[in-house]
Structures are given as C-alpha cells and as structure tokens.
C-alpha cells in the first residue's frame, strides 16, 4: 500500500506481499532442487557423446552441425542435441556465441568443460560416468529407509557392500577404478604442489587403498628416491598397471598393512565409520616407526566458514558417503583430531591445498 504525507512517493510493501515474495522464492528453490538430477544426467550425456572432446579437436568453437557430424552415430538427432547444448550453455559448461559475420551459433569450451575431456591430463569424465551409473544412483532411493531403519543404503539397494559388488562385476569394477584413478591424479597434483617438504625424508611409502597405483606413482615422479608400495584388495591390484618404483601388494587393511616409513591414504577413511577407521589407524600405527613414522591423509575436512569454491561440495560428499559407503562420512576438523587420537596419532596438522580435499599429517608421538 501507499503511505501518506511527505513520503507519498515511497512505496511501502505490506507484510503479506513480503511473505508472498518469500514463498515464491521458496517454490522456485524447491523446483531447482527437484530437478537437480538433470544437471548430472546432462553432464553424463555430454561425456558419453564426447562433446567437449569434439570441440577440443577442432581447436576453436564450432557449430551444432559440426558437433553432430562428429558424434559416433549414423543419424544423430540435432534437435535433441540443440536442447542439451542450450541447457549446458545456461549452466556455463559450454559457451555459445553468434559469429561476427552471422551464421550458425558457435559452441566453445569453458574452464568447466575442459574437465570433461577424456584425453585431458586431468579429467573428471570417469568420475561422472561412475556417479551417474545406475548401480550408484539406486542407493540414493534408500536414504529414507536408512533414517527409519538404520543400515547401509548400498546394501539395501544391492544386497552387498560396494567392494563385494565391484569384485563380482568386472564392468563396474573398471568404471569404479577409472573414477578413483582420475580423482587421485587430480588430488595428487595438488598434494605434490602444496606438500613440498613432506615427502623428502621418506624411504618407503605405502599407499593404503591406493587402487591401481596411480597416486603413489605420481609421487615417485617427483621423489624418485622413494620406494612405493600400492596396497589394496587383491581384485583391485590384479588390474593395476606396472609403474617404475611401485610394487603392488594385495591384502586387507583391516588385517595388516605393509611396514613403511610413511603411510599415504587418499579418500579412504571417509568411507568408514569411526570404529572401523580406528581399526585401520591402529594397523597403520603398527606399520610405522615409533619416532619417525607419519601418516599422510588426503581427505575432505568440513569447514562451514571457509567460503571457498568446494564448501558446498564437501557437505554434499557427506551424503554421497551415506549413499555409497559402508557407514562412511565426511568429518569436521574436531572430528578428525578426535579420531586420529583414538587411533594412535595424537599429534596432527591440517594443510589446505587447491583441491576438494585437504592434507592431514599425523604422527604417533
């Protein structure tokens, strides 16, 4: 309504109008969340069609027709492709611009779509294919059941733990290993850049849960004096390629861990509950020298007041752990310090790096 007197020219909004505006914004927010799945499915589509690779191969922005011609299909539907590209341009995954002299719209790469390149030095394409795989989307439907009944979402969806599922399904096992390898490569580059003096005095480094060995192999490129051991479940290391200076050892971290000067664990402990993590940490403690040993953990640390680009993703990853892991979770700095102390590592420091994860360096004394 409009007020009187000297403030007649000032429009005053009634409480009812404010409430209506807030409700409208709330409705829009719920619609966005409701269809958030479309974001990941559109990314999966782009990765599956290799759209970023097609544009990259031309070394310049190209038309929709040029993209369609390069898609591995005898008769791609350009109308469907146009709608997918419109969405991805709006999401700032690709660019779209009219050429100066007129003609068809030209589509180009952005810093985001460069992470979709299959042949890129650093790529998230394998991770997108894994997280959008039907076997990993199914457990998300079980979160409410977990709240009501307890239990593990992945087991409710598939009747077994993710590790057992992977060992029984070679196709999924490859998708999983490829995804872990690509994220390891991204993380380890940030670790090596930020942890400059951390690897210098290490003679033997065991990567616990190292997958196919890519992370420890990257460390050895910068520190060739280190003897690297990639330690993971037998069915995982069975598919691991040969790397200079790296030996692959199959085993179970809940039983024992190979002896080393230092132990490296990237995104392992977040997959387990506190009780299991303490068992793993105590086995790490047994495998390290009393006075000089250390454990180097690369994992998510939730800090709600950091205001960096990965804040929301770190909190989101806690839900990913609910959906995919065996009672896994992401932890705050306080939770990490308590866990490490109970596992035999009373002294630690947290090092921020340009990545989703942080370095947690911990000592037994």
Nearest to 328 by CA among 280, 267, 266, 272: 272
Q: What is the 3-state secondary structure (H, E, C) of 30-92?
A: HHHHHCCHHHHHHHHHHHHHCHHHHHHHHCCCEEHHHHHHHCCCCCCCHHHHHHHHHHHHHCC
pLDDT of amino acid 327: 85
Contacting residues for 272 by C-beta, under 8 A, at least 6 apart: 280, 325, 326, 327, 328
Torsion angle, alpha carbons of 150, 156, 161, 164, to 10: 160
Task: Give residue 80's pLDDT.
Answer: 97
Contact status, residue 210 vs residue 231, Cβ threshold 8 Å: yes
Neighbours of 218 (CB within 10 A): 19
Please state the pTM of the whole predicted model.
0.85
Give me the residues of the chain with pLDDT under 70, please: 1-11, 306
Residue 266: DSSP 8-state: E
> How confident is the prediction for the chain on average, in pLDDT?
93
Write the DSSP symbol of residue 114.
G
Q: What is the pLDDT of residue 1?
A: 43
* pLDDT for position 10: 57
pLDDT at 5: 52
Per-residue pLDDT tens digits for 205-246: 999 999 999 999 999 999 999 999 999 999 899 989 999 999
270 and 329 in contact (C-beta within 8 Å)?
yes
Catalytic site positions: 270
Is residue 226 within 8 A of residue 198, CB to CB? The reply is no
pLDDT score for 2: 45
Q: Where do runs of H (alpha helix) occur along 61-207?
A: 64-70, 78-90, 125-131, 134-137, 143-149, 153-158, 162-168, 170-194
Is the sign of the CA dihedral 107, 111, 114, 116 positive or negative? negative
């Amino acid at each position: 309504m409009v007020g009187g007197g000297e403030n007649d020219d000032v429009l005053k909004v009634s409480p009812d109008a404010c409430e209506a505006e807030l409700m409208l914004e709330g409705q829009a927010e719920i619609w966005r969340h409701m269809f958030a799945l479309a974001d990941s499915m559109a990314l999966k589509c782009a990765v599956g069609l290799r759209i970023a690779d097609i544009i990259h191969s031309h070394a310049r922005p190209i038309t929709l027709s040029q993209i369609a011609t390069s898609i591995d299909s005898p008769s791609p539907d350009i109308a469907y492709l146009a709608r997918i590209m419109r969405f991805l341009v709006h999401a700032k995954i690709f660019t779209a611009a009219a050429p100066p002299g007129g003609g068809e719209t030209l589509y180009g790469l952005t810093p985001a779509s460069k992470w979709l390149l299959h042949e890129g030095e650093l790529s998230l394409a394998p991770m997108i294919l894994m997280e959008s795989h039907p076997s990993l989307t199914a457990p998300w439907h079980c979160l409410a059941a977990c709240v009501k009944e307890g239990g593990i979402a992945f087991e409710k969806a598939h009747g077994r733990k993710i590790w057992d599922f992977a060992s029984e399904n070679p196709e999924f096992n490859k998708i999983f290993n490829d995804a872990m390898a690509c994220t390891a490569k991204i993380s380890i580059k940030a670790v090596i850049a930020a942890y400059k003096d951390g690897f210098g005095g290490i003679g033997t480094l065991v990567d616990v849960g190292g997958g196919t060995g890519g992370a420890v192999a990257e460390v050895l490129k910068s520190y060739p004096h280190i003897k690297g051991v990639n330690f993971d479940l037998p069915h995982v290391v069975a598919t691991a390629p040969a790397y200079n200076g790296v030996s692959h050892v199959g085993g179970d971290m809940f039983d024992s861990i190979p002896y080393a000067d230092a132990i490296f664990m990237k995104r392992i402990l977040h997959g387990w509950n506190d009780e299991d993590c303490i068992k793993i940490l105590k086995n790490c403690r047994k495998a390290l020298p009393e006075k000089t040993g250390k454990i180097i953990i690369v994992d998510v640390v939730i800090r709600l007041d950091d205001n960096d680009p990965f804040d929301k993703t770190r909190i989101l990853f806690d839900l990913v752990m609910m959906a995919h892991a065996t009672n896994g979770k992401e932890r705050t700095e306080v939770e990490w310090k308590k866990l490490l102390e109970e596992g035999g590592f009373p002294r630690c420091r947290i090092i921020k790096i340009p990545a989703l994860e942080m370095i947690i360096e911990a000592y037994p004394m």
